[in-house]
Amino acid sequence: MVPLKRRKTLPSDAGNTVSDSSRHKVPNKFSQVVLFLLERKMGASRRFFLSQLGRNKGFQVEDVFSESVTHVISENNCGTEVRTWLESQGRGQSLRVHLLDVSWYTESMRAGHPVEITHRHKLQEQQISEAEVALFSVSSYACQRRTTLDNHNSNLTILTGVFGVGAKTADRWIREGIYNLEQLRDSGQTLNRAQKAGLEHYDDLNEPVTKAEADAIGEIVQKAVNSVLTGSQVALTGGFRRGKLTGHDVDFLITHPEEGKEVGLMPKVVAWLESQGFLLYQKTTRNSYLESKDGPARPASNMDRFERCFSIFKLTKGKEQESTQPEEQNDLKTKDVLRPHMQADTDQQLCELSKNYQMEAASHKIWRAVRVDLVVSPISQFAFAVLGWTGSKLFERELRRWAGHEKNMSLSSHALFDNTQNKYLRATSEEEIFAYLGLEYIPPSERNA
């Protein structure tokens, strides 16, 4: 068996220098405070973002837990759980550190200095069972664990709730003093096309998408695909395939049973959707995946290389809503709303009345914006694409890690390559892929790691 590789760790002082060489090193302003963010239940990407935010504010945030740490920051863990973790690191009894909820950290970031620690910031002790304690020693591979939807992980949205804005851009804006949408609109920042659409449709895009809405979009996509290439297949993936009732977007995989028939399909589908008025925004990328007899090259990023359309759909609300709100009634006139109040004698009153009108008009809107990703896959790669696009992200990452460390294989959303036999392993179903990896098959509903 190939031994596990140790995760590379940075020295404690390396965390104060960001990877981008264009950024300067921010001096530590608070020498008596040394912070460590616990990744458990917080997630690696969120921990990285919050750590960088703290360092940019002048805090010393350690990547590795050590004796110098004075404050341990946790999210969705009780004090007992964190102490159990400390004990598992051999540090439980000897250290006297503050065990704090992430709320203390975010409040300190806003204040620009460590805020006073109050009772509500302190992690509370709770009784946990032996089974819960055992969670700290289970296999590190999420693809060996069954994880249902009933878990307590949560995500943080700051400015990253704007479509087209990632952690790096949000971090830059925060360092420039932009913390909310109003400040972003007034800042004069140059936004790309995706970010402009994201800001314009922010409320809709941050409203959960229901399974019924996902199914309605699925019917539209299926109609579009059938209109340009009969016999094509459309599969709903992502969280909805894992059993979620709501999500932040909708993902569809498209293929055709005859290899090669899918070439040129995406532009035709997008053109049909645009002609029918379904797209508020779209950006298409081409398929850049190529197989090599020597095995897959290391990808430039974690994203696959399928032909893809990132889009914002204009989804008409249900017929039962339309019947009670006909379009002629929805087309409200400002004068009709303001007429009873024409005696208002101050600009502030008129401004408030105008805001009320806008809110009333928005409440009568018969459509909403929804994020939709369309992905086209050749039938030979479809099983791998379905597995990769079903998620969760952590489950997929751990599945690839298992393949590499335990089986000496390379897994992606395109293919599975056996490095020992120096050949690709073909599969027509997810069950075959799990079998190649020597894993018990886990259904989509239990991949919510």
Which active-site residues does the annotation give?
A: 249, 251, 373
Q: Is the peptide bond before 392 cis (omega within 30 degrees of 0)?
A: yes
Pairwise CA distance, residues 263 & 377, whole Å: 9
Pairwise CA distance, residues 442 & 430, whole Å: 9
Pairwise CA distance, residues 42 & 44, whole Å: 7
Q: Nearest Cα to 416, choosing from 430, 374, 390?
A: 430
Residue where the block lists tokens 């532009």: 267
Pairwise CA distance, residues 197 & 189, whole Å: 14
- 33 φ/ψ angles, rounded to the nearest 5 degrees: -120, 120
Please, what's the b/e burial string for 350-365 (b: 16 or more CB within 10 A of its CB; e: otherwise)?
Answer: eeebeeebeeeeeeee
Pairwise CA distance, residues 43 & 50, whole Å: 11
Would you call 294 helix, strand, or coil by DSSP?
A: coil
- The alpha helices in 43-124, defined as continuous H runs, are 44-56, 79-88, 102-111
- The alpha helices in 193-317, defined as continuous H runs, are 193-200, 202-205, 211-228, 238-241, 265-275
